[in-house]
Amino acid sequence: MTSTTTRTTRGRVAIAVLLIVAVVSVFVVRLVDIQVVQAEGLNAASLASRSDSTVTLGTRGDIVDANGVVLATSILRYAIEADPSAVDEFERPAADGSGEVTITADQAIAELATAMGLDPAAITAILTADPSSRYALISKSVDVATYNAIRALDIPWLYYKADQSRSYPDGSVAGNLVGFVGEDGTALAGTELTQDTCLAGSDGSEITETGEDGVAIPGSTVTVTDAVDGGDVQLTINSDLQYFAQEALAQRVTEVGAESGTVVVTEAKTGKILTAAEYPTVDPNNIDATDPAYRGAKVFSDPFEPGSTFKSITAASLIDAGAATPDSQVLAPYEYTSGDAVIHDSFYHAPMRWTLTGVIEQSSNTGISMLSNNMSVDQRWDYMNRFHLGQKTEVGFVGEDSGDILPGDVSGPTQLDDQTIYNTTFGQGLTVTAVQMASAYQAIANNGVRMPVQLFEGCRHADGTVTDAPAASTGEQVISPQAAQDTVHMMESVATTGYAADAIKIPGYRVSAKTGTAEMSDGSGAYGGAYLTSMAGMAPSDDPQYVVSVTIRKPVTITSGLAAAPVFQKVLSQVLKTYRVQPSTVPAPELPTTY
Amino acid sequence: MTNLATVPIERLGAPAPAGEPRRRWLSPAPDRVARPRQRPRIVYAAVAIGGIAVIALAQLLLSIGLSDGAYQISSLQSQQKDLARTNQALTEQLTAFSSPQNLVQNAQALGMVSNGNTVYLRLSDGAVLGSPTPASAANAPIAANQALVPNSLLQPEQVVAAPVPDASSAPQAAAPDPTVPWQGALPSPQTH
């Protein structure tokens, strides 16, 4: 009896102990499983359920002009989204604070339509397209005022998403240079694209743990990646001057029935582009309004045959090489034949006893062709290269063209036909861009020293450091100071006694200029009877400070340099006024034009 | 027993009446030890419990303060966002207003013309360079034309209305009263 009882008790105790051990080990296994094996996944899941991940926007940088005037900036726009499945009536506190009023779905839609300036039917159509859907886009981008008005409606089935957008406060002023971005924010043209690496910011992200009501739990914010703001790009452009040039050019282009035109203003001593206007110019706020052909910067991308404005470069080369002086004499006929080449002047005249100055003043094709015989084609080709013609400028603008001078390599130009040899002395048979032409004139204006063309001052980062600023340069001596000054003085005769003299006179200042009327190629190698009229020059002639170059394409009512002359005169006057240039004090030297 | 009674009383302690010597020998020792032991126990307990209570209270107040601060931060942040939005909207408006197109248009609407005929005064010899002529709309170098240099941010209604000259007030403005009204006491001769 006693021994049986003892055994039974022992058995019970053993079973109980075993059971306890079994249960405890189940818990231990489960504990280890949760705390160790699955720990990572469970932690992540729990964090995800109570945390909120937000994207912090990295702002794209501004584009500003030389004086800091904002030409492009980033702004926030709001996408208005709806949950069509939740569209129903809702309660809203009454305006007078007495309880709540019920707003029906139709009422809400009507209010929304008023706030957005849309037709209620259009919004209803969006919401009823798929009533079971949880997402419908009402508007991709509304401005702050509209957004605030919509938010004030307190409609529970609306959602908002902030997004970056670009705004161009000055519209089409420098629109060609500033460029634009696409709807998704990718840079598409102009400085926006050329300087994209500087301008672009990068978005960051943050994780915050929030309570049930969406309020962040203090100290729980974890920054996963920092948002980085883009840098600001400063241009050398003066936006007021650019506006003036665009307006003056546009008026003249429409007045003479032309197709398009350009104005480039550079600072003679530094090579900085102060204005690069063109008409038509894109308004980056409204790209669709502009013909796709005119959405870029033609001053950089569209080479043309310059015509007679090129004679100054040929004359400068001749003088520098010692092949001519301003007094070199030539008996210029109306028609000059050499080999297979036949050269005509633009107007009929008996053989004239002109000096090189006279040839420039009268813009004689035969005269400059005959004087160019004193210089080899190789030498002329060499000078074109020294003026950086046929090469892209230092700006590196997107879509920039190099222009096309005589084909050749380091050893010299390839063999050319006689006609082209002579045509290239007066700017036909080769192409340059508007900026290249202004740059060549800058070298002549700056005592023969060509400064690198500059459009960008650099990239200013958020911390104030400036990078990508062009290296300081002392320039390149392209021609001798004497040759440059002689050329400037010869061109002065165009402004004092040439056919366009009255149109480009600026009281108090000595002006040097050269007219041009180039025949335009019809695209198939022949000249098509259309003209590109131009005017390029500098002032004041005693110490040139600014270079202005104007081209007007395919004018109808006036087809000589007179089409471009008023624009040249207005822009140059404005430049001299803007930069407070002292009037000339030394009278112009009177170089003989005939002998 | 007698032997024991003969033990001189001086060897056992101070001379005292019978029965008393035993108490005097024993009682002082427990008195000295028991007092210090009992008192610290209560103080320690009180300090410990009080400390825990203070910590718990501080913790509670701190977390109330923190969560209250969180709501304040949240509300200030949303206020900051609203203000940033307002700032942006106003900046947008301001930059559009200061665009050259808007300025030129408004200046013209107010009847201002830019003088295309630039004239200079040379300070060295007082020479006037150029022929001064009054500005007129006809010879203005440029006339604002929104169509030529467009800015789609500008609304047509942003152009101010040209002021209408008021015929009745114009003559008054042209001939202001040349006399200056006297202010203060009338001067009187100091004669005696």
Cα torsion at A417, A421, A426, A428 (round to 10°)?
A: 30
Do B152 and A148 lie within an 8 Å CB cutoff? no
Residue in B closest to A147 by C-alpha: B85
Question: Strand A260-267 relative to strand A352-355: parallel, antiparallel, unpaired?
Answer: unpaired
Per CB-CB distance under 8 Å, the chain B contacts of A279 are 148
B89: nearest CB among A144, A289, A507: A144
Q: What is the DSSP letter of A334?
A: S
- Residue A260: the pLDDT is 93
CB contact under 8 A, A171 and B74: no
Beta bridge partners of A263: A277, A550
> Per-residue confidence at B186, pLDDT binned at 50, 70, 90?
low
Is some CB atom of chain A closer than 8 A to the CB atom of B143? yes
The angle subtended at Cα A35 by Cα A32 and Cα A36, nearest 5°, is: 70
Interface contact A165, partner B, CB < 8 A: no
| Facing B151 at nearest CB: one of A76, A283, A506 | A283
Q: Do B92 and A75 touch (CB under 8 A)?
A: yes
SS (H, E, C) A496-545: HHCCCHHHHCCCCCCCEEEEEEEEEECCCCCEEEEEEEEEEEEECCCCCC
Nearest residue on chain A to B125, alpha-carbon basis: A585
pLDDT attached to residue B61? 95
d(CA A136, CA A151): 17
CB contact under 8 A, B150 and A279: no
The pLDDT value recorded for residue B37 is: 53
Pairwise CA distance, residues A244 & A237, whole Å: 12
Of A480, A132, A525, A541, nearest to A322 by C-alpha is A480
Instruction: Please calculate the CA angle B177-B180-B185 and round it to the nearest 5 degrees.
Output: 145
Integer Cα distance of A584 and B122 in angstroms = 10
3-state secondary structure of A578: helix
| Single-letter amino acid code for the residue at B5 | A
Q: What is the rounded distance in angstroms from the CA atom of residue A570 to the CA atom of residue A248?
A: 7
Q: What is the helix (H) or strand (E) element at residue A359, kind and residue range?
A: helix A356-362
Query: How far is the C-alpha of A358 from the C-alpha of A368, rounded, in Å?
Result: 10
How much is the pLDDT for B192? Answer: 61
- The secondary structure element, H or E, covering residue A260 is strand A260-267
Render pLDDT for A550-570 as a digit per residue (tens, 0 to 9). Answer: 999 999 888 888 899 999 999
Q: Kindly report the nearest CA distance between residue B162 and chain A, in angstroms.
A: 22
Question: Residue B100 and residue A167: Cβ atoms within 8 Å?
Answer: no
Of B88, B120, B152, the CB nearest to A75: B88
Please give the C-alpha separations between residue A192 and each of A273, A434, A463, A499, B141, in angstroms, as whole numbers. Answer: 18, 21, 21, 42, 32
Side-chain half-sphere CA neighbours of A373 within 13 A:
15
How close is the nearest chain B Cα to the Cα of A145, in Å?
7
Say yes or no: A573 contacts chain B, CB-CB below 8 A. Answer: yes
| Chain segment B68-103, per-residue pLDDT in tens | 888 888 889 889 988 988 898 898 888 888 888 888
Look up residue A174 and give its two tokens. 């420098």
Q: A10 Cβ partners below 8 Å, 6+ apart? A: none
Chain A contact present for B141, CB below 8 A: yes
Higher pLDDT, B5 or A361: A361
Q: How many CB atoms lie within 10 A of CB A165?
A: 18
Partnered with residue A234 across adjacent β-strands are A64, A458
pLDDT at residue B170 greater than cutoff 50? no
Pairing of strands A352-355, A329-332: antiparallel
For residues A376 and A395, is the Cβ–Cβ distance under 8 A?
A: no
Residue B14 has pLDDT above 70, yes or no: no
Q: Point out the residue among B73, B131, B145 whose CB comes nearest to the CB of A251.
A: B145
Q: Is B131 exposed, middle or buried (0-12, 13-18, 19+ CB in 10 A)?
A: exposed
Please give the helix or strand (H or E) that residue A141 lies within, else none: strand A136-142
* Structure-token pair, residue A365: 């094709």
- Does B120 sit within 8 Å of A168, measured CB to CB? no
Give the pLDDT score at B26: 54
Q: State whether the Cα torsion A568-A569-A570-A576 is positive or negative.
A: positive
For residue A70, the chain B residue with the least C-alpha distance is B95
The residue assigned the tokens 């849309």 is: A118
- Check whether B113 has a pLDDT greater than 50: yes
Beta carbons of A367 and A314 less than 8 angstroms apart: no
| A120: its two tokens | 């209620």
Q: Does A6 touch chain B (CB under 8 A)?
A: no
What global pTM score does this model have? 0.80
Q: For residue B128, is pLDDT > 90?
A: no
Interatomic CA distance for residues B169 and B167, integer angstroms: 6
Cβ pair B101:A171 closer than 8 A: yes
Task: Assess B119–A contact: CB distance below 8 Å, yes or no.
Answer: yes
User: Which residues in B lie closer than 8 A to residue A173 (C-beta atoms)?
Assistant: 99-101, 149, 151
The answer to whether A247 contacts B148, with C-beta atoms less than 8 Å apart, is: yes
CA–CA separation, A584 and A507 (whole Å)? 10
Residue B3 touches partner A, C-beta closer than 8 Å: no
Q: Do B153 and A240 touch (CB under 8 A)?
A: no
How many residues appear in chain B?
A: 192
In whole angstroms, give the CA distance from residue A500 to residue A504.
Answer: 7
A247 in reach of chain B (CB within 8 A) = yes
Contacts of A174 in chain B (CB under 8 A): none
Kindly determine whether residue B145 and residue A171, on different chains, have CB atoms separated by under 8 Å.
no
* In contact, A403 and A385? CB cutoff 8 Å: no
- Per-residue tokens: A291: 């013909």
Tokens at A1, concatenated: 């009896």
Tell me which chain B residues have a C-beta less than 8 angstroms from the C-beta of A167. 92, 95, 153
Q: A199 near A189, Cβ under 8 Å?
A: no
DSSP assignment, residue A34?
A: I
Instruction: Provide the 3-class DSSP secondary structure of residue A181.
Output: strand
Query: Which two three-digit tokens encode residue A567?
Result: 């624009």
Closest-CA residue in chain B for A239? B100
Contact list in A for residue B131 (CB cut-off 8 A) is 507
Q: Which residues in chain A (508-537) have CB-CB distances under 8 A to chain B?
A: 508
Chain A 467-506, CB below 8 Å of chain B: which residues?
506
- The pLDDT score that the predictor gives to residue B30 is 52
Chunk chain A into consecutive blocks of 10 residues (it has 595) and report each block's average pLDDT, rounded to whole numbers: 75 94 95 90 83 82 92 90 85 78 86 87 86 86 86 86 88 92 88 91 84 72 84 93 93 92 95 93 90 90 92 94 91 89 89 92 92 89 91 91 74 74 89 94 95 92 85 89 94 89 87 90 75 92 94 88 90 91 83 87
B151 contacts chain A (CB < 8 A): yes
Overall residue count recorded for chain A in this entry:
595
A399: left (phi over 0), alpha (psi -120 to 50) or beta: left
Chain B residues whose CB is inside 8 A of the A218 CB are 66-67, 69-70, 73
Measured on CA atoms in the order B10, B15, B18, B19, is the torsion positive or negative? Answer: negative
Q: For residue A285, give the DSSP letter.
A: T
Q: How far is residue A386's CA from residue A268's CA, in Å, rounded to a whole number?
A: 17
Is B132 strand, coil or helix? coil
Structure tokens, B190: 């100091």
Residues 36-65 of B with CB under 8 A from A: none
CA–CA gap between residue A275 and residue A174 (Å, rounded): 8
Q: How far apart are the first and last CA of chain A?
A: 157
Are B113 and A256 spatial neighbours (Cβ–Cβ below 8 Å)? no
Query: How confident is the model at residue B164, as a pLDDT?
Result: 58
Quote the CA–CA distance of A256 and A264 in Å, as a whole number: 20
